[in-house]
Amino acid sequence: MVEQWESQTGDRVLPEDHFETLVYYADGPVNLYQLRQWYEPLKALDAEAPAVIVCRSVTAALELLDESPLPVVYASRVEDLENLVDRQRFSMALYVNQNTRNFQMMRSNTMLHVFISHGESDKSYMVSGQTKTYDYSFIAGEAA
């Protein structure tokens, strides 16, 4: 696993047993807008429950390293996800879209899985059975 994050001191070592919130992003750079709109709320959440963004796409991770207000981790394999979960104290994972690779993260039963969506569309999948897999789903628009 490539672990990278920038602290204010320039530290690039991920501290163990530190993060409580996992923000899961399995998509590529083209859909980063779905995550970007959450930067401000995630910064506020980070103050109370330290958060880290976990990317499954190396190109998305590299882009996020340049712009994200939160630490960023690249996890290429399911084993990398499991190792990360074992070394942190995550109480919840947040998902901004319905990427099929979300289910690889949802294997973990040690945290709540929360679909927060990206909110700018009201598509039929928002009311599909797929959203039932999350512990909580926050849906906007008519689909709600």
Q: How far apart are CA 43 and CA 113, in angstroms?
A: 19
Please tell me the distance from the alpha carbon of residue 84 to that of residue 54, in angstroms, as a whole number. Answer: 9
Tell me, what's the pLDDT at 97? 92
The CATH fold assigned to 16-137 is: Rossmann fold (3.40.50)
Q: Where are the domains of the chain?
A: 16-137
pTM of the model: 0.87
Closest CA to 138 of 100, 105, 92, 104: 92
Tens-digit pLDDT string for the chain (144 aa):
444 444 444 556 688 999 999 999 999 999 999 999 999 999 999 999 999 999 999 999 999 999 999 999 999 999 999 999 999 999 999 999 999 999 999 999 999 999 998 766 656 655 667 788 999 988 766 655
What is residue 131's predicted lDDT score, i.e. its pLDDT?
81
Beta strands in the chain, from DSSP E residues, in sequence order: 2-4, 21-25, 51-55, 72-74, 92-95, 112-115, 136-137
